[in-house]
Amino acid sequence: MNVTTGLLFPNNATKEERQIDWRLIAEISDGDFGFDNPKPVKGDKIRFNVRCVLKNDKGEICVIKSEKYGYVQIPGGGINDEETITDALRREIQEEAGFLITDIEPIGYVLEKREDAQNHHDWNKAVSYVFSASLGKEVGTNYTEDENADDFRPIWMTLDQFIAEKEELKNKANSYSGYFSDKRDLEIAKFMA
């Protein structure tokens, strides 16, 4: 735990990762969307994630688009049990954006509290560690079966375009998780603007 913020970390987080002065970008909860049917919870189970604002030399950011559903999101995903935070970041960006990354800089974190009965995950809180990074070598994407089924593709857009798209879709998600993902990514983008 970071004593200055009370932030929890995955088991394999390094000493250096734990000592970063992580800034809170946003705290998101069911009340933000009008969900008020809490499910009984026995303790907190936390999912740890990484997200990356990856810019090209034109000042555009890489976002992942689902061609099947039409949404865009900031690349990233879950931290595996054996990974450090930075190892997970490197893996997720290579898998989703298709690049090795350099000049990795921690930005902050987003805390999600998903405690409504609509949450069908086995966790009720999520911490997303947010970074910026520069493009390294292009190595190609490596999507999961689910990501392939959703027809994921990396695309480039300006931060302003991404914010405008997320603002337009604000509170119009098609799923419980979608509300959280959209707000998380909007808050990250606005923090970076």
Give 84-132 pLDDT, tens digit per residue.
Answer: 999 999 999 999 999 999 999 999 999 999 999 999 999 999 999 999 9
Q: Which of 87, 60, 89 is nearest to 76 (CA)?
A: 89
pLDDT computed for residue 5 by the predictor: 62
pLDDT computed for residue 153 by the predictor: 96
Q: Of how many residues is the chain composed?
A: 193
pLDDT tens for the chain, 193 residues long, are 554 466 889 999 999 999 999 999 999 999 999 999 988 877 789 999 999 999 999 999 999 999 998 899 999 999 999 999 999 999 999 999 999 999 999 999 999 999 999 999 999 999 999 999 999 999 999 999 999 999 999 999 999 999 999 998 887 888 999 999 999 999 999 999 9
What's the whole-model pTM score?
0.94
In terms of DSSP bridges, do strands 125-138 and 46-55 run parallel, antiparallel, or are they unpaired? parallel
pLDDT computed for residue 70 by the predictor: 87
CATH architecture of the domain covering 15-192: Alpha-Beta Complex (3.90)
pLDDT computed for residue 3 by the predictor: 47
pLDDT computed for residue 20 by the predictor: 96
At CB < 8 A and 24+ separation, what contacts does 61-64 make?
61/156, 61/157, 61/158, 61/159, 61/162, 61/189, 62/97, 62/99, 62/154, 62/155, 62/156, 63/154, 63/155, 63/156, 63/157, 63/162, 64/96, 64/97, 64/152, 64/153, 64/154, 64/155
pLDDT computed for residue 51 by the predictor: 98
